[in-house]
């Protein structure tokens, strides 16, 4: 039993030592041309310590820009059927996490769903079970980005909330 423990400790020490060597060698400042230098940015090599922080800040900026683009699309409507399609399916997925939705009978042309209001029509089916049941008729307004659903009982188009 003591020999197994000794062997296990030595193996762990070897793994730890090897990982420290590889990690230490990766931080070596050897003044190679960096991606930033190749792009024409001035870099002295001293800012390599901040690269992780810079990458994290860049990622946060990218996420913020993406969220801003989505907000702009929704606030200003949609220029294309595909953008409205993606927005609707993402919204339904967030509202009903247990559902799996599919668009059938696609018509990518703009449709007047109410007096003076135009948008894109989607027949949504819930494919989370084998019933193939229609979930509803949805419309995404092309100008405002609001989602509307046809009420099956009253046959009226109502805002989806």
Q: Which tops the pLDDT comparison, 44 or 111?
A: 111
Q: Which tops the pLDDT comparison, 131 or 8?
A: 131
Mean pLDDT value across the chain: 75
Query: pLDDT band for position 87 (50/70/90)?
Result: very high
So what's the pLDDT on residue 29? 53
> What are the residues whose beta carbons fall under 8 Å from the beta carbon of 137, sequence distance 6 or more?
121, 122, 123, 124, 149, 150
Query: pLDDT band for position 150 (50/70/90)?
Result: very high
So what's the pLDDT on residue 11? 75
Average pLDDT in the 79-94 region? 90
Average pLDDT in the 92-96 region? 87
Neighbours of 84 (CB within 10 A): 27
Query: pLDDT band for position 119 (50/70/90)?
Result: very high
Query: pLDDT band for position 79 (50/70/90)?
Result: confident
Is the pTM of the predicted complex or chain greater than 0.75?
Answer: no
Average pLDDT in the 105-127 region? 90
Query: pLDDT band for position 148 (50/70/90)?
Result: very high
**pLDDT at 1 exceeding the cut of 90:** no
Is 2 strand, coil or helix? helix
């Amino acid at each position: 039993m003591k020999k197994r423990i000794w062997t296990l400790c030595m193996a762990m020490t070897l793994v730890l030592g090897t990982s420290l060597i590889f990690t230490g060698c990766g931080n070596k400042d050897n003044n190679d041309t960096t991606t930033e230098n190749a792009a024409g940015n001035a870099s002295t090599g001293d800012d390599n310590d901040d690269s992780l922080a810079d990458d994290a800040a860049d990622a946060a900026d990218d996420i913020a820009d993406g969220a801003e683009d989505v907000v702009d699309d929704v606030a200003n409507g949609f220029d294309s059927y595909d953008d409205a399609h993606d927005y609707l399916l993402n919204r339904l997925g967030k509202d009903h996490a247990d559902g799996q939705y599919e668009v059938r009978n696609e018509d990518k042309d703009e449709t007047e769903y109410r007096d003076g209001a135009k948008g894109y029509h989607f027949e949504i089916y819930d494919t989370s079970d084998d019933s193939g049941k229609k979930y509803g008729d949805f419309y995404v307004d092309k100008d405002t980005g609001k989602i509307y659903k046809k009420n099956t009982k009253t046959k009226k188009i109502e805002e989806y909330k």
